[in-house]
Amino acid sequence: MTAALVAGLLAGYGIAMPVGAVATYLAALTTRTSLKTGAFAALGVATADGLYALIAVVGGSTLTPLIEPVMLPFRWASAAVLVALALRGGVSALRAHRSGGAPPSDDGTPLSPLRAYAALLAITLMNPMTVVYFAALVLGSEAVAASAPAHRAVFVLAAFVASASWQLLVAGGGALLGRALTGNRGRLVTALASSTLITVLAVRLLFPSS
């Protein structure tokens, strides 16, 4: 149970930490509306992450008996996907930092809390990187994919909680924290931290007892 909890928290923070267009919009939305609206929007992002974690866990438990004969090479392939995602995120962050890329601006359209939740949920669900990330992580980890239903539920819940806590941090920080995290340097630091965390997860797939 503890292993599933820790794995879920790490997975949730790994996918949530990069501060890109969604987090930038989230911070700007909170600044110009209210903490309530920003919190609903943050939970929309976290809900999408939780849904993709659930899909990956359910699919993983179904596919595990089929892929058990090739579990070792599949684990290596999954680790390679995670490392590729980490490298892509790190390289993109470095390029954006060197070019001095500015965060996207907010369009000023008013949103109610429920509309903010729905909008951020839809935006995040359209990101294929999220489902690729969770699928590679879950299917590559025999401890998660083949664990008891309660353990898989803990993994999904932990991933949701981790994502929600990070998104609520971005939203709750208001203008000051928003500018700090979504500025050029903040985007670089969070992206590199996320890439490092994803790489650690990949190593744990290959050496689960380490």
Cα–Cα distances (Å) from 3 to 6, 10, 137, 164, 182, in that order, read: 5, 11, 14, 20, 32
pTM of the model: 0.66
pLDDT tens for 169-190 read 888 875 455 556 666 676 677 6
The pLDDT assigned to 32 comes to 72
Nearest 5°: the CA angle 25, 191, 76 is: 125
- Residue type, position 50, single letter: G
CA atoms within 13 A on the CB side of 166: 26
Closest CA to 18 of 76, 80, 103, 116: 103
Residue with tokens 């008996």: 65
Average pLDDT by stretches of 10, the chain with 210 residues: 78 75 75 84 92 78 61 70 74 77 50 88 76 68 63 86 91 64 68 74 67
Residue 68: CB atoms within 10 Å: 12
The pLDDT assigned to 17 comes to 77
In the chain, domain spans: 2-206
pLDDT tens for 30-55 read 877 788 998 999 999 999 988 888 87
